[in-house]
């Protein structure tokens, strides 16, 4: 069976469309809410979901996503429960799901076991924030092939020679971090975006997703001129924090996400 990420980009490319990728921290405010949000986001036009696996020391994340991870952990979310949440999502949805995570939760679970259980649960790809490709040759478990796509991150400061190394063993799509620093909303889109995306395209035929700092429909439209996918994360997580205790949480978040999805079409 074709991986859901590959199938989604293939379908969108055939239709001349770009993808909206939405990030949420799994378990914030609850795993039940996470499941309902994913189902609601799909109906609102989101194409791919990034699920953050709660971790106590998320170094690449800004304060908004750090607080979301803390709330999820305080609510009892664990890696095993996140995978169970994915299984429940799959009862009603085939939306592609990427796990956004750090190495620590994976190794605590068991590296090989985590990948096997994630794939069995219905996860399609892994974006491991603190795993550079240089580690592959030094750790036999990193060389094992699974059905999960290995998403690679590229930063604005990444040298062209390094870009080629990062894209060489990537799959699914490339995640270009459009702003230096940690995750978080920004007032504007980076002026170097077009140039940097063009440099990445010279090394790979994979779709290129752009994230970090994108928070408005105008941002989405601007980034979609250059990228194959646009990632919105902190802006969504901030709304979840605002409405997390409201019975209208899912409704409020769908209202926020719908204009973002419309902007990419």
> How would you classify the pairing of strands 125-128 and 208-211?
unpaired
Q: b/e string for 59-85 if b means 16 or more Cβ within 10 A?
A: ebbbebbbbbbbbbbebebbbebbbeb
**What pLDDT score was predicted for residue 143?**
54
Distance CA 26, CA 187 (A): 26
Could you please state the CATH topology (level 3) that the domain comprising 4-149+218-258 is classified under.
Answer: TIM Barrel (3.20.20)
Q: Check: CB of residue 24 under 8 Å from CB of residue 237.
A: yes
Q: What is the mean pLDDT of residues 129-134?
A: 78
Give the active site residues: 50, 61
The string of pLDDT tens digits covering residues 84-117 is 999 999 999 999 999 999 999 998 999 889 999 9
Distance CA 56, CA 58 (A): 6
Q: Check: CB of residue 136 under 8 Å from CB of residue 164.
A: no
Q: Is the pLDDT of residue 138 over 80?
A: no
**What pLDDT score was predicted for residue 142?**
58
* Cα–Cα distances in angstroms (integers) from residue 148 to residues 33, 121, 134, 173, in the given order: 25, 11, 19, 12
Distance CA 115, CA 148 (A): 8
Q: Check: CB of residue 49 under 8 Å from CB of residue 82.
A: no
The string of pLDDT tens digits covering residues 66-86 is 999 999 999 999 999 999 999
- The pair of structure tokens assigned to 55 is 């971790």
**What pLDDT score was predicted for residue 140?**
52
| Angle of CA points 18, 101, 143, to nearest 5° | 95
The string of pLDDT tens digits covering residues 170-228 is 999 999 997 654 444 444 456 688 999 999 999 999 999 999 889 899 999 999 999 99
């Amino acid at each position: 069976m074709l991986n859901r990420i590959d199938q989604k980009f293939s379908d969108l490319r055939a239709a001349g469309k770009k993808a909206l990728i939405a990030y949420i921290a799994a378990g914030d405010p609850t795993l039940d809410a996470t499941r309902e949000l994913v189902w609601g986001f799909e109906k609102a036009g989101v194409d791919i979901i990034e699920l953050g696996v709660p971790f106590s020391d998320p170094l690449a994340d800004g304060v908004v996503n750090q607080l979301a991870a803390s709330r999820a952990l305080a609510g009892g979310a664990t890696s095993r429960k996140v995978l169970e949440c994915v299984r429940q999502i799959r009862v009603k949805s085939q939306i592609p799901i990427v796990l956004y995570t750090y190495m620590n939760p994976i190794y605590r679970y068991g590296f090989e076991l985590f990948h096997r259980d994630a794939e069995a649960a219905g996860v399609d790809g892994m974006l491991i924030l603190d795993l550079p490709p240089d580690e592959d040759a030094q750790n036999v478990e990193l060389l094992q092939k699974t059905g999960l796509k290995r998403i690679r991150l590229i930063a604005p400061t990444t040298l062209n020679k390094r870009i080629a190394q990062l894209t060489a063993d990537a799959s699914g799509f490339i995640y270009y971090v459009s702003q230096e620093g940690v995750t978080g909303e920004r007032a504007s889109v980076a002026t170097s975006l077009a140039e940097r995306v063009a440099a990445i395209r010279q090394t790979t035929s994979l779709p290129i997703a752009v994230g970090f700092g994108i928070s408005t429909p105008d941002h989405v439209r601007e980034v979609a001129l250059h990228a194959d996918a646009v990632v919105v994360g902190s802006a969504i997580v901030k709304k979840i924090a605002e409405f997390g205790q409201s019975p209208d949480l899912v409704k409020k978040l769908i209202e926020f996400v719908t204009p973002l999805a419309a902007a990419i079409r």
